[in-house]
Structure 1
Amino acid sequence: PPHPKIADLGELTGSEYVASLLPGARVVKGFNTLHGQYIAADPRHQAGRQVLFLAGDDTDAKTTVKNLTDAFGFAPVDVGSLREGGRLMQLGGPLKQD
């Protein structure tokens, strides 16, 4: 069954829905799979760097966000488009921490 906190957006992911409300915007999904303590803390630690999943339909925008988050110390991983990557990262998706 669908996750109880996911709105019924039909076939759209939440990120696709947001992008549809902002024509021309370059939407990149990121940070939503991490709890606050992982964002607030230094993403560089003894075991390596904190992985940060990114998804988006605009390659240039994803590159910008990837470079920025890499400079912050995260290890950005591109998981695809807002549709495919968004499904992986949304509530109930396999990459979302509960």
Structure 2
Amino acid sequence: MSSLLPGARVVKAFNSLHAQFIAPDPCHEAGRQVLFLAGDDADAKNTVRDLTSEFGFAPVDLGTLREGGRLIQLGGPLSALHVLKQD
């Protein structure tokens, strides 16, 4: 996908969560909503990690788009997984 946008810094995030877990406050009594992300550009992933952490999510870096992206694509083992991180 990133090959279609030369020079773009692509980070895959949010697609593995149902909207019902994105729309409300990601901070719960039991913990923060985990947000899986993947990408090939470390700086871009750091930006997304920092921004989503400020929103209240608990971002988890799964690695590259090829490897981590497969884990969170539709039908992947982490797709639609609702996980809370206890702080």
Q: Is the shorter-chain TM-score for this pair beyond 0.5, marking a shared fold?
A: yes
Q: Structure 1 regions of 5+ residues with no counterpart?
A: 1-16
Corresponding residue of 1:24: 7
Corresponding residue of 2:33: 50
Structure 1 runs, 4 residues or longer, greater than 4 Å off: none
2:74 equivalent among 81, 91, 95? 91
Paired with 1:25 and 1:35, the residues of 2 have a C-alpha distance of 26
Kindly indicate whether residue 56 of structure 2 is the aligned counterpart of residue 73 of structure 1: yes
Aligned length: 81
Identity, % of aligned pairs?
A: 74
Note the C-alpha offset of 1:59.
0.1
Higher percent of residues as strand: 2
What do residues 46-77 of structure 1 show as CA deviations (whole Å, max 9, x unaligned)?
A: 11000000000000000000000000000000
What is the TM-score of this pair, normalised by structure 2? 0.90
